[in-house]
């Protein structure tokens, strides 16, 4: 092999490696649960005639450890969004700080208490 063809083979191999890692990285992007804002959760209207539906809705809004970690990292890597009044920054802060989960738990408690 000539020196030019060796460099060409290495460049082609590196390009293929970078392309495959990029595709794999995009496929592995986590999808976080995006619950309602705490203001909406604070004003959540309890309707005892739709008790089971509301419980299912609230349970689907709970964020897990991965959601909280991803929200925290995103805010850590994008600190300027706090100063640009991005509403997603505030929601991620509430997710990472467990405020949304706390409010959801409170609403679930009230449903169970008042709706029997």
Residue 43 sits in the same domain as residue 87: yes
**Per the structure, how many domains does the chain have?**
2
Place 23 in a pLDDT band, splitting at 50, 70 and 90.
very low
pLDDT for the residue 33 = 67
Q: At residue 20, does pLDDT exceed 90? A: no
Residue 39 sits in the same domain as residue 94: yes
For residue range 102-116, list pLDDT tens digits in order: 999 999 999 999 987
Residue 11 sits in the same domain as residue 64: no
Residue 59 sits in the same domain as residue 24: no
For residue range 48-95, list pLDDT tens digits in order: 999 999 999 999 999 999 999 999 999 999 989 888 888 888 899 999
Residue 3 sits in the same domain as residue 45: no
- Per-residue pLDDT, averaged over 11-36, amounts to 59
Residue 25 sits in the same domain as residue 45: no
End-to-end CA distance of the chain: 81
pLDDT for the residue 35 = 78
Residue 68 sits in the same domain as residue 17: no
For 25, the domain range is 1-30
Q: What angle do CA 59, 38, 69 make, to 5 degrees?
A: 70
Residue 7 sits in the same domain as residue 48: no
Residue 66 sits in the same domain as residue 91: yes
pLDDT for the residue 1 = 59
pLDDT for the residue 40 = 85
- Number of Cβ atoms within 10 Å of the Cβ of 6: 10
């Amino acid at each position: 092999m000539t020196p030019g063809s060796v460099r060409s083979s290495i460049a082609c191999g590196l390009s293929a490696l970078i392309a495959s890692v990029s595709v794999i990285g995009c496929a592995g992007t986590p999808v976080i649960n995006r619950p309602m804002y705490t203001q909406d959760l604070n004003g959540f209207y309890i309707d005892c005639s739709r008790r089971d539906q509301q419980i299912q809705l609230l349970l689907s809004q709970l964020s897990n450890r991965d959601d909280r970690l991803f929200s925290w990292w995103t805010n850590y890597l994008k600190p300027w969004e706090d100063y640009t009044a991005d509403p997603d920054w505030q929601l991620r802060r509430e997710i990472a700080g467990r405020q949304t989960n706390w409010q959801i738990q409170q609403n679930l408690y009230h449903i169970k208490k008042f709706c029997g």
